[in-house]
Structure 1
């Protein structure tokens, strides 16, 4: 049994498992990917290592992307699509462009991307422009985990047929046990157990600058990566509770050990106490790894404010 099937059967929540990131940089690279894709692909090894290191050092997450089915036998590309997403803690934005050489990506001001003004950034980087629609990245890195390829690729192909050019396969986003997994840009919301309907709903909502209600709840919503896990769980809980689709409507602050305050911009407030409970079953977090004690997040108590 693969890891994701085991977690599906156990019915465990995905809340609080989003990869931590203050911004995202995705670079197109066709062909096969190894487990460490930035240095195990057709991308120049030194360039790939440098992009990965620079993005991570600045608090972001780098990904390689490719069109669905652009694998080992697909010819390389004359230009590469690049996506840069930031503003995750406020109003998320997405820039895109194409480059002839991947080394150009290294000129991005990585230490500014989390809070950069997107129009100023596009004005300073001549190959970047605003993109006012969403994109969906579906993890399909088979060398990192079998579930991502077996369950992720069919979702990416089907979603791409319905929304051509807006769906990409991507490298490791963590959470293999929740495959098929996806990342919505610009919001930075990580999704679990993707279906074609959920994928397309996420894209439609992103076009309007919103999160899709179809993604709410512990089955599909891994959270938003600019938040620490306990805060991401609290935000996701309140978002589902009130049906809030605007990504910038909620302010989340950790109030103590595993208790979090969530405030809506209209003045409503909630205080949540959370815990990680040990699940009685031992489950693998990734295919090929030993089973461990699962510790999913739960909301123990909620108090509402004004």
Structure 2
């Protein structure tokens, strides 16, 4: 198959006019693990970590119904220094909470399990995740990485590339956590507009996939009101 003939699910979805309203996966808790090397196709599950630590983190995340994502800053990789981890939570009261740490050795990741059992700190700036997991789906790299680059130039402290967030055919996908808001069908220009509005407290209905604190019918209903 030549490059011109290569199939991209995001191109096909746009050509079909696939609707993405109400497609945000439900969830209130996210575990982010900075990993600057290449990402396996299955993300955290595929990492070559110390088995005991990996199972500890996985079990704690499952008990908290947390989603585990690998993250990294867009563009040039930092060659040295500790990586970071975070537990981000949108709790039942609507409070947005964060807890951050760092890791060098696999054993350091065990601190995530403690963070998952604590509420975390209120406030803090939102984290903007741009799915750029090309080994999972090429659309995420082709469409996601340009969006990650342009957003990181504007908001370098907020933006991270992430592993698979769901809905490859809606790439480029951006998730704002712990707010729990999914946006899809973005390109570099529209992503700037969407994030400007989001950070100003407004939701861009035209690219809204949904709120992760709501189930699909509720997400669709809210999108209809906003639209």
Q: Which residue of 1 aligns with 2:112?
A: 105
Q: Give the aligned CA root-mean-square deviation in angstroms.
A: 2.4
Deviation at residue 103 of structure 1 after TM alignment? 1.8
1:41 to 42, 47, 61: 47
What is the SS of the residue equivalent to 1:38? Answer: helix
Residue by residue, what CA displacement relative to the aligned partner does 1:184-214 show, whole Å, maximum 9, x if unpaired? Answer: 1232111111233443344444445x243xx
Within the alignment, does 1:156 sit opposite 2:148 as a pair?
A: yes
TM-score by length of 2: 0.83
1:152 offset after TM fit, Å?
0.5
1:80 paired with 2:80, answer no
Q: Decide which of 17, 28, 31 is 2:34's aligned counterpart.
A: 28
Structure 1 residue 60 and structure 2 residue 66: aligned? yes
Structure 1 regions of 5+ residues with no counterpart? 123-128, 241-306
Is 1:50 the counterpart of 2:56? The answer is: yes
Partner of 1:178: 170
Higher fraction of helix: 2
CA offset digits 1:203-233 (Å, max 9, x no partner)? 444445x243xx203xx21101122212211
Mapped contact 1:138–1:152 kept (Cα < 8 A) = yes
Query: Residue 187 and residue 179 in structure 1: after superposition, are their counterparts in 2 closer, same or farther (change >3 A)?
Result: same
Task: Report what 1:216 is aligned to.
Answer: 205
Q: Is the 8 A contact 2:8 2:139 kept in 1?
A: yes
Q: What is the number of equivalent residue pairs in this alignment?
A: 217
Instruction: Give the whole-Å Cα distance in 1 for the aligned partners of 2:187 and 2:97.
Output: 24
| Matches of 2:72 and 2:9, distance apart in 1 | 24
SS of match in other structure, 2:89: strand
Give the direction of change, closer, same or farther, for the CA distance of 1:44–1:232 in structure 2 (3 Å limit).
Answer: farther
Q: Which residue of 1 is the match for residue 3 of structure 2?
A: none
Once the 2 structures are TM-superposed, how far is the Cα of residue 46 of structure 1 from its aligned partner?
A: 4.3
Higher Cα Rg: structure 1 or 2? 1
Q: List runs of 5+ in structure 2 lacking aligned partners.
A: 1-6
Describe the superposition over 1:252-305 as per-residue Cα deviations: whole angstroms up to 9, x where unpaired: xxxxxxxxxxxxxxxxxxxxxxxxxxxxxxxxxxxxxxxxxxxxxxxxxxxxxx
Q: Tell me, in whole angstroms, the C-alpha distance in 2 between the residues paired with 1:236 and 1:44.
A: 43
Deviation (angstroms), 1:170: 0.5
Question: Match for 2:161 among 140, 156, 169?
Answer: 169
Runs of 4+ in 1 over 4 A off after TM superposition: 42-46
Change (3 A) 1:49 1:65: farther
Secondary structure of residue in 2 paired with 1:177: helix
**In 1, are the aligned partners of 2:29 and 2:87 still within 8 Å (CA)?**
no
Counterpart CA distance in 1 for 2:133 and 2:82 is 23
Conserved 8 A contact 2:9-2:139: yes
